[in-house]
Amino acid sequence: MDIDLDKIQQEISEIEAKFKDSSFFSTKEYPSLAKKHMELMELMELMSKIKEIKKGIASSQKILDDPVNTELHLLASQEIDSLNQELENIKQKVRELTIPTDPNDNKNVICEIRAAAGGDESSIFAGELFKMYSKWAENNYLKEEVLSENENEVGGFKEIIFSIKGSGVYGKLKYEAGVHRVQRIPSTESQGRIHTSTVTVVILPEAEEEDIEIDPKDLKIDVYRSSGHGGQSVNTTDSAVRITHLPTGIVVSNQDEKSQIKNKAKALSILRSRLLAIQIAKNQQQMSSKRRSLIGTGDRSEKIRTYNFPQDRITDHRINYSRSNITQFLNGDIDGMINKLHEADINLIVNEKKHTPK
């Protein structure tokens, strides 16, 4: 691995020099630099382990090459296999630490789930996906908050928008964006026929005010009385808010809170994140098509995963990976799938770097 350890040590020393000033810990730069320091220290430790493992492999190889002590050949061969596996695992960790990271990976996310094809069954599955991500958040001690919802009369949601807050959330959930397809027999199906329905998932990094600057002149803000199913009034005041971003035509509305101020704040948060997503999409044009397919946009043409209930099989079409136990998966056990996608993304980046002319 072509890694300049002297340069890494120099970076560590420069960061530690800043840490000597106690006032630095209260600056905006500190969190990112502390994370960088931790990663560099981990990298140095991993490179030290690689050096030790290579020594062990060389030592076992000498035994294997010795024509006299043949009784030790089997043990030496087994030791070499074990050390080579450990070496490959550590090299994978080094790759993860040395590839360029997405600056948005540490952000919170805003997740938008919408029923697509399939009518009521699609809305029901949208509700199940919402519960899946909520359970995943709970399992990882993350905070989830519903920002906007439009329930279906038979259960589930026509649309639900919610946030998940915590360290590194976008870096994990960004692989969930795209079309999720479900194949099963609906409870209302008397003939026992399998129906196929789809749900779109959009994963947005939650934008801070400093990420996206919005000119108030670019906003058209309407207030109106919120309503529930059938158009009945929920509140007696004009608390619902609709915001139109004139330059892009993006429209965001929110009526879940009784306070107009809170509804406006939620709508602005969603708008800001959608504008950031547009910027990210432009940056992604520089990625290879394979990497862009891994980090989807939630577009209706991007079918990323199928949940086949009759066969109890979930298949992610981007990496041709399947697993069983849909019930467990929908109960929030999605980390294995996320890790597979993350690993595939890293391998694509590494391969692209290898084939990029210097």
Q: Tens of pLDDT along 68-105?
A: 778 888 899 999 999 999 998 898 888 777 776 777 88
> Does the pLDDT value for residue 217 go beyond 70?
yes
Confidence of residue 353 (pLDDT cuts 50, 70, 90): low
86, 51 contact by CB (below 8 A): no
Q: Which CATH number fits domain 109-210+287-350: 3.30.70.1660, 3.90.245.10, 3.50.30.50, 3.40.50.800?
A: 3.30.70.1660
Is 3.30.160.20 the CATH number for 216-281? yes
Q: What is the per-residue pLDDT for 162?
A: 93
Q: Find residue 115's DSSP bridge partners.
A: 199
Task: Give the pLDDT confidence score for residue 26 in this predicted structure.
Answer: 85
Does residue 324 register a pLDDT over 50? Answer: yes
**Which residues, in sequence order, are CB contacts of 21 under 8 Å at separation 6+?**
none
Residue ranges in 285-334 assigned as alpha helix (H): 289-294, 326-330
Q: In the chain, what are the domain boundaries?
A: 5-98, 109-210+287-350, 216-281
What's the whole-number mean pLDDT along residues 158-173? 90
> For the chain, what's the residue count?
358
Report yes or no: 132 and 124 within 8 Å, Cβ to Cβ: no
174-213 residue pLDDT tens: 999 999 999 998 876 667 788 899 999 999 988 877 778 8
pLDDT at 237: 60
Band (290; pLDDT cuts 50, 70, 90)? low
Highest mean pLDDT (candidates 146-155, 163-172, 276-285): 163-172
List of residues 6+ apart from 5 with CB closer than 8 A = 44, 47
Residue 91 — φ and ψ, nearest 5°? -60, -35
List, in order, residues 6 or more apart from 34 with CB less than 8 Å away. none
